[in-house]
Amino acid sequence: MTISEQELARVAELARIRLDPDTVTDVTRRIGNILGMIDRMQAVDTSAVSPMAHPLDTVQRLRPDEVTETDRREDFLAIAPVSEAGLYLVPRVIE
Amino acid sequence: MHDIALEAIAGALERREFSSVEITSHLLERIERANGTLNAFITIDREGALRSAAAADAARAGGATGPLLGVPIAHKDLFCTAGLRTTCGSRMLGEFVPPYSATVVERMAAAGCVTLGKTNMDEFAMGSSNETSWFGPVRNPWDTARVPGGSSGGSAAAVAARLAPGATATDTGGSIRQPASLCGLTGLKATYGRVSRHGMIAFASSLDQAGPIARSAADCALMLQAIAGFDPRDSTSIEAPVPDYVSQLDRPLAGLRIGVPKEYFDPGLHPGTEAAVRQGLAELEAQGAKLVDVSLPHSPLSVPAYYVIAPAECSANLSRYDGVRYGYRCKDPVDLRDLYERSRSEGFGEEVKRRIIVGTYALSAGYYDAYYRKAQQIRRLIAEDFRQAFEVADVIAGPSAPATAFRFGEKSSDPITMYLEDIYTIAANLAGLPAMSMPGGLVDGLPVGIQLIGNHLQEGLLLNVAHRFQQATDWHRRSPGFTA
Amino acid sequence: MLSDWETVIGLEVHVQLATRSKIFSGAATRFGAEPNTQACAVDLAMPGTLPVLNREAVRMAVKFGLAIGAEIASVSVFDRKNYFYPDLPKGYQISQLDHPVVGCGSVTVELPDGSSKCIGVTRAHLEEDAGKSLHEDFHGLTGIDLNRAGTPLLEIVSEPEIRSAQEAVAYLRQIHSIIRYLGISDGNMAEGSMRCDVNLSLRRHGQSEFGTRCEIKNVNSFRFVEKAIECERERQADILEGGGKIKQETRLYDAERNETRSMRSKEVAHDYRYFPEPDLLPVHVSEEFIASVRAELPELPAQKVQRFRTQFGLGAYDAAQLAASRELADYFEETAGATGDAKTAANWVLSELLARLNRDGFDVSASPVPAASLGALIARIHDNTISGKIAKTVFEAMWAGEGEPDAIIDARGLRQVADSGAIAQLVDAALAANAGQVEQYRATPADKRQRMFGFFVGQVMKASQGKANPQQVNDLLRERLDGE
């Protein structure tokens, strides 16, 4: 399977990756090659195979409902790129 | 002092042949001299290392003992270290100082290890040559014109160049075994769930697993002993008790069934590598093991399945890097969209962006069944192949990589050629099996690795086989003779 | 005309579960804390952090499922729902898509006209809440508070079986009542512990296929739900009547202007790229677990309604109103028990008590008149100590904190005159003072005397300052006026 530049643009937008217009053709070709390699999977009939999401055949462990974390806001805000008044700041969110 | 093996250091410390501070200082100096050439370390923690070495010496003077007490090691730079920069080889985390440590880091520290620094790696562990690091490529001490393998290339180069006796690493598709193979080292990827992933920066959550890279199986056994075990902070952590790996090392191999999968000796395998691997298998046979033919018919599909599953998981795992709470943030974003897109596009390198895009595509509406679901079905077929193989074999053996270390730029221009570096290693990740690489010879002066794959939780058996092999061979003692 | 159209409504109700810690981390969930003081490394999606599921969240979801007679999935699966938003730190929300913990169930609502309706619940699944964006101006930037990120949510999805605003509100009240009975949420809509999305479409009566729907997001009170539905159906009817088409979109209800308006259309079409969350394993809910939760279930609103109807002979609507909250139902039962007259108790609770609670903004648990006191008051009506009318005066005094009913009756001299001699005196005096009317009465045909009879009763009651037993007055007047 190949991918068109338009499709690539849509996917890049979903992933919030901005493509450099100069390299779009090259990126499209490389990704098309990868998808072509991946397509080798289609040769195998898997209609009767259930998907395997985890290598472990076990079940989720449940945690007791206890508050174990303390307030470390200052430690976390110290590594934030932009913060003020205890908040993380981002360009204005419009709804 | 830098030639001493990890397993021998504790004894030397106990006998006061040197102190932890002495060997730590010696190695720090060596690292500082060598790093300009090898670029194996992203961060060197001189101050922290000397402090914990002094503490270890004090503890030993006070009667404390332990096989890792005062032993200097290095951590791959995707294990979070509280207060010490953790970059994951990316500009995105170029200045990131985590306020917490990974379980692996905590456990190594609790065992008394001294952290020399953080080793270089492919960006977000995506690569097989260490050429994708934001901090520049790592050079292979056996031939500095060649790659050390990846993604744990810094850990491998550091150990091979005798800058550290052992280092932690991670393996999502071969990132411990392939660099161990290319650098003439012993490296083990544990069973998925055996080592906690807490604090280990995620690439592909259902495949990532940690393990040690060191010179010998005995070294690896000591390190694995320290880091393996249940961790309530990781839902995928296995609750089974951890066996004593060291005490199992010497068990004889008589009667052991070693499965040799015919698919691993395909035309893609370099003849020199094949010869070395076959010779290694003969050595195991000589020790009483039986070689049996097994088939892993779906293994050729492991690469395509992996290059759907790993990118799909990484596309979500890397969404958190958005320039809001930590990490790289672009200058003067004009709006929210700009903040996201520029921070991510400037913060991530090409290979990472490529995989995010492939993964996003594989999960997007209309493609999920053909790609993601299909890959998970292939994954089950691959796991099933192993299940059947382990009915007739106790261990599976084959090559770790198709050939020895390649030159810089040789494969980086074509992603698919690079992806085939992991053709023999990926299947074990898909099935969650423990696997290791041990030195099995030299071809044109470059190391060849033999891969051993075990059934779930059979790390002890793998280390046992490798140790017996290393009792009879000296490939693991060969040094690149790198002059720091 | 609006009446030509049938309104089709489905509701998605998000309920914050009242766990102490978050669904995937050990941070506290308390409402109203200082910004970001309850957001731990997991909630902030710090690199390498992993989710671990809170047992209590699962237990609460199962409890709700059992309460609505739903199937409980023996295996349920968490998925990642991918989208970028600053209040969503990981760039994905952990939710459940194909395998929710709670399957099909139903809720029965009682409507004011005495009818009842069963509304299907398609599913209820566990997920994590997002943080909050604060739009106060920080130099033109938006502030992000992640305290709420990771609070457990149960999303309850109804079938599109609701046909009016009234039914929608009744359904919501019933869900509210159930979650409060179960103690799994405080259901506080003002604080966002219960939030509602309304999906609404119109179709011509008799038409079987659904029309195009709009989703109205985050309607945060029962009254707004009612008003939002009313104005949205008018809006859609106007468009359809005018020959237009409904555009499928997400809208917001603006309470100030009482209108719904389109949310600024998202720049990118949504493609959530759901896939199984690799950091969490499938959740198994065993039969024993379900049995242990079932054993904890209290009597539920629907069961209480049924019991109130059969045990006390109450009407369906009255019973449903009383059972709406556990506290009110308990108050009613205690009052009824103290008097032995459930119907009168129900009338008093539903009229006098509720009116005053609403007027003064008290919760029933904080009622100034305890149930036992109201019971004692009703008992005084029964034993003819006071009339029903006087009782209201006494109740007002009790509400004002003047004490128990007997004390008030005595202090104010409100005790009913039941002494037949005294009443005879009053009757005779009244007849004597109104001799003309007595003449007139007797001259009137028997079937036309009723109004005039009332006049005499009034005179006697006035003379007694309302304290004469009305029945005795009636009997005596009949005897004197109609006397055989």
**Where do the structural domains in chain B lie, given as residue ranges?**
6-258+392-477
Task: Indicate whether A86 belongs to any domain.
Answer: no
Mean pLDDT of C179-198: 95
Mean of the per-residue pLDDT values of chain C: 92
Q: Which of C36, C55, C146 sits opposite A62 (nearest CB)?
A: C55
Amino acid letter, B67: P
Q: Do B364 and C271 touch (CB under 8 A)?
A: yes
Convert the pLDDT of each residue in B312-326 to its tens digit. 999 999 999 999 999
Q: What integer is the mean pLDDT of C303-331?
A: 92
Residues of chain B with Cβ-Cβ distance to C150 below 8 Å are: none
Q: Is B128 a catalytic residue?
A: no
Structural element, H or E, at residue B383: helix B374-392
C-alpha span between B53 and B46 (Å, rounded): 10
Q: Determine how β-strand B209-214 pairs with β-strand B290-294.
A: unpaired
Q: Does the beta-carbon distance from A87 to C143 stay under 8 Å?
A: yes
pLDDT at A95 (0 to 100): 55
Confidence band (pLDDT; 50, 70, 90) for C251?
very high
Q: CA-CA distance, B191 to B463, in Å (whole number)?
A: 13
Please tell me which residue in B175, B181, B400, B412 is annotated as part of the active site: B175
Q: Report the residue count for chain B.
A: 484
- CA C186 – CA C182 distance, rounded (Å): 10
- Give the closest-approach CA distance of C143 to chain A in angstroms: 5
Is the pLDDT assigned to residue C386 strictly greater than 50? Answer: yes
How many CA atoms does the CB half-sphere of B169 hold within 13 Å? Answer: 38
- Reported as a single tens digit per residue, the pLDDT across C318-333 is 999 999 899 999 999 9
**Does the pLDDT value for residue C265 go beyond 70?**
no
Is residue A18 assigned to a domain? yes
| C422 burial via Cβ count (<10 Å: 0-12, 13-18, 19+) | middle
Range of the domain at A38: 5-43
CA distance between the termini of chain C? 65
Q: Cβ B235–C53 below 8 Å, yes or no? A: yes
Q: What's the pTM value of the predicted model, to 2 decimals?
A: 0.91
B448: which strand partners? B441
CATH topology for B6-258+392-477?
A: Amidase signature (AS) enzymes (3.90.1300)
Among C48, C273, C280, select the one facing B360 at the smallest CB separation.
C273
Torsions phi, psi of B209, nearest 5? -155, 145
Burial class (CB in 10 A: 0-12, 13-18, 19+), C248: exposed
What is residue B352's predicted lDDT score, i.e. its pLDDT?
98
Using a CB-CB distance cutoff of 8 angstroms, which residues of chain B are in contact with residue C86? Answer: 322, 324, 336
Of all residues in chain A, the percent with pLDDT exceeding 90 is 85
A57-61, B281-285, C430-434: lowest mean pLDDT where? C430-434
State residue C465's pLDDT score: 80
In the predicted structure, residue C245 carries a pLDDT above the cut 80 = yes
Of C27, C36, C276, the CB nearest to A53: C276
In which residue are the tokens 């149930």 written? C371
Q: How many CB atoms lie within 10 A of CB C463?
A: 17
- Read out DSSP for B108-154? HHHTT-EEEEEE--SGGG--SSS-S-TT-PPPBTTBTTB---SSSHH
Number of CB pairs, chain B paired with chain C, less than 8 A apart: 97
Tell me the pLDDT tens digit for each residue of B196-216: 999 999 999 999 999 999 999
User: CB–CB of C52 and B233 under 8 A?
Assistant: yes
The whole-number pLDDT of residue C264 equals 61
Confidence of residue A1 (pLDDT cuts 50, 70, 90): low
Tell me if B100 and C41 make a contact (CB, 8 A cut-off): yes
- DSSP string spanning C276-303? E-TTSPPEE--HHHHHHHHHH----HHH
Map residue C106 onto helix, strand or coil. Answer: strand
User: What confidence tens digit (pLDDT) does each residue in B153-170 have?
Assistant: 999 999 999 999 999 999
> CA C475, C479, C482 angle in degrees (round to 5)?
120
Task: State the pLDDT at residue C316.
Answer: 87
CB pairs under 8 A between A and C: 124
Q: Does A69 touch chain B (CB under 8 A)?
A: no
Q: Beta-carbon neighbour count of residue B75 at 10 Å? A: 29
With 0-12 / 13-18 / 19 or more C-beta atoms within 10 angstroms meaning exposed / middle / buried, residue B151 is: buried
Known active-site residue B151: yes
| pLDDT higher than 80, residue C342 | yes
pLDDT at site B9: 98
ipTM of the complex: 0.96
Q: Which residues of A touch B376 (CB under 8 A)?
A: 51-53
State which amino acid sits at residue C129. D
Q: Is residue A74 part of a domain?
A: no
Q: How confident is the model at residue C267 (pLDDT cuts 50, 70, 90)?
A: very low
**If you ran DSSP here, which 8-state letter would residue C349 be given?**
I
Count: domains in chain A = 1
Question: Taking a C-beta distance cutoff of 8 angstroms, is the pair A27, A61 a contact?
Answer: no
| Averaged confidence pLDDT in chain B | 97
Please state which of the ranges B74-88, B311-325, C94-108, C245-259 shows the lowest mean pLDDT. Answer: C245-259
What is the band of B26 on the pLDDT scale with cuts at 50, 70, 90? very high
In chain B, the percentage of residues whose pLDDT exceeds 70 is 100
The per-residue pLDDT for C430 is 86
B400 upstream amide cis, omega within 30 of 0:
no
Neighbouring chains of C at 3+ CB pairs within 8 Å?
A, B
Q: Of the ranges C64-78, C332-346, C455-469, which is most confident?
A: C64-78
The partner residue sitting opposite A56, judged by closest CB among B99, B380, B432, is B432
Compute the distance between CA of residue B176 and CA of residue B207 in angstroms, rounded to an integer: 13
